[in-house]
Amino acid sequence: MLRDLIENAEQYFVSQKKEWTEILVDFETRNQYKVLDVDKKEVGTISEVSSGIGGFLKRNFFGSHRSLDVRVHDADGSPVLRLERPFFFWFSSLEVKTEGGAGLGRVERRFGLIYKKYDLVDANGRTFAEVSSPLWRLWTFPVRHTSGVGEAEISKKWGGALREIFADADTFRVAIEEGNWSGPERWVLFAAAISIDFDFFENNQGSGGLFSFFD
C-alpha cells in the first residue's frame, strides 16, 4: 500500500505525530510521522529509532544536528525503508536505503546564501534533482529534475495559529507535478520531506540543543 502510493501517486502527505510531553514541557521526543493519501487515510508510519537515557540526551542536547536512524513501515507494520544520517555541524546528508540495506540514494543539504538548497542523489552518486527555495518562501520547497522535464514540490501545510504556536506538528504535502520519476527517485523525494522537517522546522520550540548556533 505505502510502496504503491510513493511510487505512483501524484501527491501525498507526511504528518508528524506530536506527544503531549513535548508540547507541554518542551522536551524533544523521538520523531514519528504518518503517511497519508489524498483522502487522509493512513498508509504508513515513520519512526525515529531512539530510546533510553542515551536517546533522550542525544535528542535534547544535539537537537536537529543529532544522528538519525529512521524506519518506515507499511500500514500493516511491514518494514519498507531505512533513513540514516550521521551527526553534523553544518550540512546534513540523509541516506535512503531499502529495509534490507541496499542504497537508493541520499538527500544532501548544500550551502545557499539566500536559498535553502538540497541535492537529491541516486545510488550511483548522480544528482537527479535539486531543491532550491528562497528564504522568504518559508514553507515551500520547489524540486526540479536535472533532466529538465520533471518538477515536484514539498510544502508545509498551515495548521492554524494555535496549532503552530503550541504543537508545531508539521504536515508536509509532497506533489509530483510533471515528469517521469523512477521508483528510487520517488523514495529519495519522500525522504527529502523528512530531511527538510529536521533541518528547518525541528527547532520551532527551542529543540535545537547545544548546536542551534549552526542552524
Number of separate domains in the chain: 1
* pTM (predicted TM-score): 0.83
Q: Which domain, by its residues, includes 54?
A: 2-214
Distance CA 105, CA 187 (A): 9
- By CB atoms closer than 10 A (0-12, 13-18, 19+), residue 89 is exposed
Distance CA 48, CA 159 (A): 23
Contacts for 210 with CB less than 8 Å, ≥ 6 apart: 61, 62, 63
Among 146, 147, 144, CA closest to 131 = 144
80 close to 73: Cβ distance less than 8 angstroms: yes
Statement: residue 181 has pLDDT above 90: yes
At 19 the pLDDT is 57
Which CATH number characterizes residue 54's domain? Answer: 2.40.160.200
What is the arithmetic mean of pLDDT over 37-62? 73
What is the arithmetic mean of pLDDT over 174-203? 91
Statement: residue 14 has pLDDT above 70: yes
Question: What are the φ/ψ torsions at residue 64 (nearest 5 degrees)?
Answer: -70, -5
What is the per-residue pLDDT across 167-178, written as a single tens digit (0 to 9) for each? 445 799 999 998
